[in-house]
Chain A
Amino acid sequence: MTALLPLMVALPLGAAFVLPLFPRRPRRAGDLLAGLISGVLLVLAVILSGRFGIYEIGGWRMPMGINLALDGLSAPVLLLAAAVGLAAVLFSSAYLDTYAGRNRYWALLMLMTAGINGTILSGDIFNRFVFVEIAVISSYILVGFSGRGRALAAAIRYGLLGAGAANFTLLGVAVLYALHGTVNVAHLAGSVPAAGTSVPGPEILFAALLMVIGFGYKSAAAPLHVWQPDALAAAPAPVAAFLAGALIPAAGVYALARTLFTVFGHAEALGWMLLFPGLLSMLFGALTAPRRKDPRAFLSYQGISQVGYVLTGLGAAMVLAVRGEERAAGLAAAGAVFHLLNYGGAAALLFLAGGAAAPPGKPSRWSRLAGMAGAGSIAGIPPLGGFSSKLMIVAALWLGGFPLLAAAAAVTAVLAPVSFYRRRDEFPPPPAGPAGRTPPAMAAGLILLTTLVLGLSLAPLPGLRGRLLGPARAAVLDREAYAAYLEPGEEERP
């Protein structure tokens, strides 16, 4: 089944290059093609979930060739990105009517999809960097797609800062290549020694810091979040959903987790590199959000807070794993991945629901329902997924011997529903772009994501736990398992 992996990148890439060849006619071909491809991608992602393996492109063996890898961490993120992608595409087809250059929009959206899927699946850090850039460069243009002053300003700021942040990632890749002579993740996992409780060498700390800055920007973690509220508030609603629900989780958080956990290995110093921005984002986002008037900016800051939870959970998992607290580390890792999925699905749902609200302030029935599910999950109201994942992270912090951090996370978790409740009249928020009655395609996108958000709430149940959270925990914590992917091809090392 992993033989199907390259299609996850090749199909949207093909669509992205076919569409500009036919700039105007036939009118709805772009909608159809993008919808079809996104549907196929979701089916593929469902088929591939739960299957792990490696795909060597062109049949070239791993030390020489490029490979794609699917494991317990990449499979759920891939599924999230596919679901958010299909929902955004369905939603866009009804949303786009007021914009010129329809096929250009579809081409960019497909290019972004290809970049996101490539980011998730790439088996080496250089290609991951390239795919991240493919995804974010498309997103710069999509953020400013309406061509209005505010959107253009946000897009230009996002783009300029993003180009700067990309250099950090690239330099990090270069440092690792200079040190170890390979960019393959499995190879690096086998050759970069895990520092454990001792402090890693300065060159490893430097490379890790570069990666944290580069990918931290993409995940909009404080203090590198400056682009995110403006971009999400000004972008067309489906693009904002795609950014919050797929790009930030995949090109930001997933890429960061994959790099730190698998490439660098467990070290207490690296764990604190995640914990510091994590705690900062968690508190800063939650405290800033209520003071934002624009409902979309409010949502963006809440999103920063959620990303903070994920990074806190990941950092705690790493520190606890080094200290030998297996159980707490596993709980933190599973909680962090679970919260990433909850955040992505719910944030995308909220931005879509906001776009479907019409007229502003008087949302339609579907968007109201979808907005409630999304807000409930992000705010962490039991029994929705966002509650369970926050509980897991708080419990892991408590069990692992960080009572202060656990208290901070718990207080923030209580603050979120309060601040959502105080603004209940604004949800779903009025859109920045055009809006109409909820057409069937929009409703389909909303239903898809509502199903995802509600379905994720079931994941911690005993019967389902082993399918999603178990493999994710193992993928985060078990670095040797990833290095073992190498076994069949391990002959000559360059």
Chain B
Amino acid sequence: MMTRSLIVQRISRWLAPFIFIYGLQVILYGHLSPGGGFPGGVILASAFILILISRGKEEAGRRLPLSRAGRFDNTGALVFLAVGLLGFVLGGSFLANFLQRLFPGRPFSLLSSGTIPVNNLAIGLKIWGGIFLAVLFLSVLRVGGDPDRGLKTMEEE
């Protein structure tokens, strides 16, 4: 593997946790301020993509294994769908906000606006896993390389 300079490795190691926390903030406050599940999820993924770029796919695959990222992707989609179907059953319409009575919309209050934060979390989880997987796969595929071998070594890690 190509060796990266010490500065890049060290700085990215410091930066990644802050990026991750910022992503969480964007997701959790998505119903109160600009942001939400999609941008937050991309930011979460970018923390891991930074590790992928600076310290190699082995290290990134160790922090977020392929199978776990795939599970995030599926679980996020399923939670979103479950909220939609619960709205169908309880609220009378697909994706109806059936938690609105319990947590009505209030400015600056984290526990508000019913199902929207739940959906933001679900989307965030899905995008986190999905974007990371997409970039990971792109990093494995090379012209002339053997894509299966790259993936297998990662699954073994």
Contacts and interface: CB of A to CB of B under 8 A. Distances in A.
Contact of B87 (A17, A20, A58): A58
A1 interface: no
Nearest to B115: A58
A33 to B, nearest CB: 13
B22 interface: no
A57 B74 CA distance: 22
Given A10-B81, A58-B87, A58-B94, 4 more contacts: A3-B93, A6-B88, A55-B94, A57-B93
B70 A14 contact: no
Contact of B95 (A3, A21, A57): A57
Interface string B59-102: 00000000000110011011001001101100111111100000
Given A6-B88, A21-B71, A14 B78 contact: yes
Interface residues of B, number: 18
A37 B119 CA distance: 24
A201 interface: no
A59 B71 contact: no
A56 interface: yes
Nearest to B94: A6
Contacts of B87: 58
Contacts of B88: 6-7, 10
Nearest to A56: B93
Interface of B: 70-71, 74-75, 77-78, 81, 84-85, 87-88, 91-97
Contacts of A3: 93
Given A6-B84, A10-B94, A58-B87, A20 B78 contact: no
Contacts of A41: none
B81 A17 contact: yes
Nearest to B70: A20
Q: Give 6 closest A-B pairs by Cβ, nearest first.
A: A6-B94, A58-B95, A17-B77, A59-B93, A17-B74, A17-B78
The A interface, classified by DSSP as helix, strand, loop or mixed, is: helix
A17 B122 CA distance: 13
A388 to B, nearest CB: 38
Given A58-B87, A58-B93, A59-B96, A13 B81 contact: yes
B36 to A, nearest CB: 16
B81 A58 contact: no
Interface string A1-16: 0010011001001100
Contacts of A10: 81, 84-85, 88, 94
A153 to B, nearest CB: 16
Nearest to A5: B94
How many A residues touch the partner, as a band? 10 to 19
Contacts of A21: 71, 74-75
Nearest to A59: B93
B94 A18 contact: no
B97 to A, nearest CB: 7
A21 B78 CA distance: 10
A17 B130 CA distance: 13
Contacts of A56: 93
Contacts of B75: 21
27 contacts: A6-B84, A6-B94, A6-B95, A10-B81, A10-B84, A10-B85, A10-B88, A13-B77, A13-B81, A14-B78, A14-B81, A14-B85, A17-B74, A17-B77, A17-B78, A18-B74, A18-B78, A20-B74, A21-B75, A55-B93, A55-B94, A56-B93, A57-B94, A58-B96, A58-B97, A59-B91, A59-B92
Nearest to A107: B74
A21 B77 CA distance: 12
A107 to B, nearest CB: 9
A101 B139 CA distance: 23
Contacts of B81: 10, 13-14, 17
A14 to B, nearest CB: 5
A225 to B, nearest CB: 29
Contacts of B95: 6, 57-58
Contacts of B74: 17-18, 20-21
Nearest to B85: A10
A14 B86 CA distance: 13
Interface in A58-75: 58-59
Contacts of B94: 6, 10, 55, 57-58
Contacts of B96: 58-59
Contacts of B97: 58
A201 B28 CA distance: 47
A15 B95 CA distance: 18
A323 to B, nearest CB: 43
A159 B75 CA distance: 27
Which interface residue of A10, A17, A57 has the most chain B CB atoms within 10 A?
Answer: A17
Interface in A28-58: 55-58
B22 to A, nearest CB: 28
